[in-house]
């Protein structure tokens, strides 16, 4: 299996298929590159080289007690992109991965990155403040940490309900999809899972968004119960210079079903522009 080794000795697993212009996918918490399996096949079938990695501590990458923060995640991504010498690169990031690709592109991507796509992403800043009244209360994030620490197996099972909108009328999420979320989540080291909550929720990406000088597609479901659209996409689109906002009515945080089908079409169209 392919790995790269970071400067602090962490092994980062990645998948790499196809040929053509490269597209790199970054997953959400607490998942892995396997969250993008449909896209890896679909985009490779459309003539792209597709790459997806497991964030440190997640999936098949090394578990690490250190470096579970957004600066290091972006540096790990830079190490992977440099090792593969990827250029004219499009980045696609979901949730936490959206923050990761924005920070990478802003700080490391000059001369390599040509387009950025965020999906249900955490930028610009997730926590509720006076300037961000639609954000998430810190107490809710503390609850996530407590759930992970106390009984992460049951917590991940319960989390699939708001993540996929299973509590909404007309939901078509399958038990298999919920089980796969749990399976991926259980591969994350406890330390990494716990620390990543702070990384995705308390990192301010405002200046990263301002620094982007490439086209950015900001995609978000308007029924996202994990990353509320008002605090995320609606604020991000006002910050980026070359942004396009795509809102999916009734779509949840998790990328599944008809939402996934339309999103994939929209991303392929954006990349082809």
Q: Is 54 a catalytic residue?
A: no
Active-site annotation holder among 33, 62, 95, 192: 95
Q: What gap in Å lies between CA 211 and CA 19, rounded to an integer? A: 29
Q: How far is CA 57 from CA 22, 66, 92, 120, in A?
A: 25, 10, 20, 22
Active-site annotation holder among 53, 58, 94, 253: 253
Record the tokens describing residue 268, joined without a space.
């392929």
Interstrand relation of 49-53 and 11-17 (parallel, antiparallel or unpaired): antiparallel
Active-site annotation holder among 26, 220, 224, 236: 224
Is residue 233 within 8 Å of 247, Cβ to Cβ? yes
Q: Is 222 a catalytic residue?
A: no
Interstrand relation of 89-94 and 22-26 (parallel, antiparallel or unpaired): parallel
Q: What gap in Å lies between CA 165 and CA 150, rounded to an integer? A: 24
Residue ranges of alpha helices (H) inside 138-236 are: 138-164, 175-186, 190-201, 206-211, 233-236
Could you say which DSSP state residue 67 is in? Answer: -
H-helix or E-strand spanning residue 108: helix 96-108
25 strand-pairing partners: 52, 92
Q: Is 236 a catalytic residue?
A: no
Which positions are annotated as active-site residues? 95, 224, 253
């Amino acid at each position: 299996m392919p790995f790269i080794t970071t400067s602090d000795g962490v092994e980062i697993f990645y998948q790499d298929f196809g040929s053509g212009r490269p597209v790199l996918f970054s997953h959400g918490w607490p998942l892995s590159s396997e969250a993008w399996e449909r896209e890896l096949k679909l985009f490779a079938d459309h003539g792209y080289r597709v790459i997806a990695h497991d964030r440190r501590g997640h999936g098949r990458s090394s578990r690490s007690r250190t470096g579970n923060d957004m600066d290091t995640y972006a540096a790990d991504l830079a190490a992977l992109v440099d090792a593969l010498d990827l250029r004219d690169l499009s980045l696609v990031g979901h949730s936490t991965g959206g923050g990761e690709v924005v920070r990478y592109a802003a700080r490391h991507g000059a001369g390599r990155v040509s387009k950025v796509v965020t999906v249900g992403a955490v930028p610009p800043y997730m926590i509720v403040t006076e300037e961000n009244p639609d954000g998430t209360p810190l107490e809710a994030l503390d609850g996530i940490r407590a759930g992970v620490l106390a009984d992460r197996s049951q917590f991940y099972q319960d989390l699939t309900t708001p993540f996929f909108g299973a509590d909404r009328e007309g939901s078509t999420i399958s038990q298999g999809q919920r089980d796969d979320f749990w399976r991926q989540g259980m591969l994350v080291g406890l330390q990494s899972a716990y620390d990543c909550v702070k990384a995705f929720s308390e990192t301010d990406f405002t200046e990263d968004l301002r620094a982007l000088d490439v086209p950015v597609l900001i995609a978000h479901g308007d029924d996202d119960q994990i990353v509320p659209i008002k605090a995320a996409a609606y604020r991000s689109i006002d910050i980026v210079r070359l942004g396009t906002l795509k809102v999916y009515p009734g779509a949840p945080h998790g990328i599944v079903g008809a939402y996934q089908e339309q999103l994939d079409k929209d991303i392929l169209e954006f990349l082809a522009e």
